Amino acid sequence: MEKIVDIVAPRNSIDLFLKVLALISSFTAFDYFIGEAMRNLTSTSIMIELVTTLFIAAPFGIFVMSIMGIQRRLKEKLRYLAETDQLTGLANRQAFMARAGAALSEQPNSTILMIDVDHFKRVNDTHGHFVGDISLRLVARHLVENVRAGDVVGRLGGEEFAVMLTNADKITAEYVSARICKPMEVDAAADLDKSAPSFVLTMSVGGIMALPGQNLTELIRHADAALYTAKSTGRARAVFYECDGGSKRVAC
């Protein structure tokens, strides 16, 4: 305890002088420079500049970041509107073609399905366009629920839809097509009053399995030909367009 008192509060002036002299002699060049740097950093002028910069730059930085965030969200919203069918939430024609084309380049072993709702004009004529819109939304949900994660689904227009089954063999393509063709019940009462109609919809499917070198436009044209055969031979079925030794045939 006495030693601590001697250090902090020397007993006489001679002791004080000797301790100050020892303290001064213990300074090194490093201590000196560190002390100078701290004194400069904490000087009044430096502090004023630092505070001024923070008060001016911080709000401006926050403002710029907010504007950038708004622009990013606006860009994402515009892209969503440009690529999405507003009735069904699926990719629209342009977006489907872009996504399916990209998928085909990465997964050549893919299948294109062209899908058409059977007798859809009758739905609009009998129940009205509002019920027709409900039906199309339910068809879109039916398609999404019956394909695999990673497949591309789009509405090309009207009652016409398309699906690209990426990396799908024949068994997978036929299985998915059969699920899509399965009759689907439309119960409009969930969106309208209790007197709304309930009826069954079916779909026809035309498909083609891609061969090396075929482009998306060619595949869609052949799938359309298969779809025409499916509709002209009874509907509610899937028909696949096949190439056999250079000759083209449509096989159920």
Tokens of 33: 């420079």
Q: What are phi and psi of 109, to 5 degrees?
A: -85, 70
Which amino acid is located at 80 in the chain? Y
Q: Is 159 a catalytic residue?
A: yes
Contacts of 201 by beta carbon, 8 Å cutoff, 6+ apart: 117, 118, 120, 123, 135, 138, 139, 183, 184, 185, 186
Contacts of 225 by beta carbon, 8 Å cutoff, 6+ apart: 206, 241, 250
For residue 247, pLDDT over 60 is answered with: no
Considering the candidates 2, 83, 145, 159, report the single residue annotated as catalytic: 159
Helical segments of the chain, H only: 2-8, 13-25, 29-41, 44-83, 93-106, 120-127, 129-145, 170-181, 216-232
Q: What is the pLDDT of residue 89?
A: 96
Tokens of 111: 């299948």
Per residue in 130-171, pLDDT tens? Answer: 899 999 999 999 999 999 999 999 999 999 999 999 999 889
pLDDT tier for residue 73 given thresholds of 50, 70 and 90: confident
DSSP string, 70-129: HHHHHHHHHHHHHHB-TTT-SB-HHHHHHHHHHHHHH-SS-EEEEEEETTHHHHHHHH-H
Q: What is the pTM of this model?
A: 0.69
Q: What is the pLDDT of residue 52?
A: 61
Per residue in 163-221, pLDDT tens? Answer: 999 999 889 999 999 999 999 998 877 666 566 778 999 999 999 999 888 899 999 99
Query: Which segment, 61-70, 108-117, 206-215, is predicted with the most confidence on average?
Result: 108-117
